[in-house]
Amino acid sequence: MIRRRRILVIAGAAVVVIALVAGLIAALAPKGDDTASGTPSASSSLSAKPSRSASPSATPSPSESLTPPGFDKTQFSIDDPASIWVVSDKLRPLNPVDYAPADLKAMPIPTTWGAVPYLRQPAADALTAMTQQYTAETGLSIQIQSDYRSYASQVKVYNGWVASKGQAAADLTSARPGFSEHQTGLAVDLVGVPAKCGLNACFADTPQGLWLASNAYKWGFILRYPQGLTPVTGFEFEPWHYRYVGVELATEMHDTGVQTLEQFFGLPAAPDYA
């Protein structure tokens, strides 16, 4: 009898210990999971509910409290030619028309004409990093077909287009002097190595064209003259022409799906010169 009692006591104690250990494990394990995934959504929904129910009485417009903080479109000038946000189109000549950037920087990027290319320092650094990343990812290369152009060189380029295609056709591809993004030192024409579809719409379908269209915003570049938006930009689809606006603006335009600077800043469409 005594042995049986001892066995029962020992067995009972073992059950209690097992139950305690199991309870301890059960109590600890779910906590690990909650902190990893469950708790943040639970706490956010808890904190969101009171503010939603309180906002209609606290503020006149409940929808305002649900809108994320707006992008500040006035951080940089769109008029100053030295601003990375400057909007240059057929209705917005550079002021002064012979503006020249003060921070041009050489880039270690190949060009179709064999000489050293230049852009303004922030654009040059971003383009260098972007083309290096492209090569690291794909084993392919990007080169420059046009970089910074001065007012004087834009005169030559534009006159060359007019001579070969006539003024109407020239105005769809090349800006008049004083109206060119290339004169800001923030715009660049890109092509693959070896060059294929240079300054041609078929560049959009090359590996480089496809990659740039999807990824350039991460380095602060936008495709400035998108397909189907000639009535807004005044220029035909130029899948090779990228404009540096900084990562913040390029990402905002990418995320909101707004394709042109004119539409983003609420500016008039600029299909032709005034």
Size of the site for Zn ion (CB under 5 A): 2
Q: Is the peptide bond before 101 cis (omega within 30 degrees of 0)?
A: no
The nearer residue to Zn ion, 189 or 248, going by C-beta atoms, is: 189
| Residue 55 and residue 62 in contact, taking contact as beta carbons nearer than 8 Å | yes
Binding window for Zn ion (CB under 5 A); candidates: 54-62, 133-141, 190-198, 233-241: 233-241
Closest CB 238 distance from Zn ion, rounded Å? 6
> Quick one: which of 131, 120, 53 has its CA closest to 85?
120
Binding window for Zn ion (CB under 5 A); candidates: 1-9, 131-139, 226-234, 241-249: 241-249
Per CB under 5 A, 125 contacts Zn ion: no
Pattern of binders to Zn ion over 132-171, x per CB under 5 A?
A: ----------------------------------------
Q: What is the sign, positive or negative, of the torsion defined by CA atoms of 110, 112, 116, 121?
A: negative
List, in sequence order, every residue forming a beta bridge with 191; answer none if it has no partner: 143
Closest CB 102 distance from Zn ion, rounded Å? 21
Per CB under 5 A, 252 contacts Zn ion: no
Closest CB 247 distance from Zn ion, rounded Å? 21
Residue with tokens 């606290």: 58
Closest CB 273 distance from Zn ion, rounded Å? 18
Helix (H) or strand (E) holding 261: helix 261-264
> Mapping DSSP to helix (H, G, I), strand (E, B) and coil, where does residue 30 land?
helix
Identify each DSSP E strand in the chain by its residue range: 104-106, 118-120, 141-146, 187-193, 221-223, 241-244
Applying CB under 5 A, among 110, 162, 173, 189 the residue interacting with Zn ion is 189
Binding window for Zn ion (CB under 5 A); candidates: 31-39, 92-100, 133-141, 184-192: 184-192
The nearer residue to Zn ion, 62 or 199, going by C-beta atoms, is: 199
The nearer residue to Zn ion, 125 or 189, going by C-beta atoms, is: 189
Distances from the Cα of 18 to the Cα of 4, 8, 14, 28, 127, angstroms: 21, 15, 6, 15, 64
Nearest 10 degrees: Cα torsion 135, 187, 270, 238: -30
Binding window for Zn ion (CB under 5 A); candidates: 24-32, 186-194, 208-216, 262-270: 186-194
Closest CB 181 distance from Zn ion, rounded Å? 7
| Residue 248 and residue 218 in contact, taking contact as beta carbons nearer than 8 Å | no
Per CB under 5 A, 241 contacts Zn ion: yes
The nearer residue to Zn ion, 189 or 252, going by C-beta atoms, is: 189
- Closest chain position to Zn ion (CB): 241
Question: What is the C-alpha separation between 153 and 151, in angstroms, rounded?
Answer: 6
Closest CB 177 distance from Zn ion, rounded Å? 14
| Residue 102 and residue 184 in contact, taking contact as beta carbons nearer than 8 Å | no
Residues at the contact surface with Zn ion, assessed by CB under 5 A:
189, 241
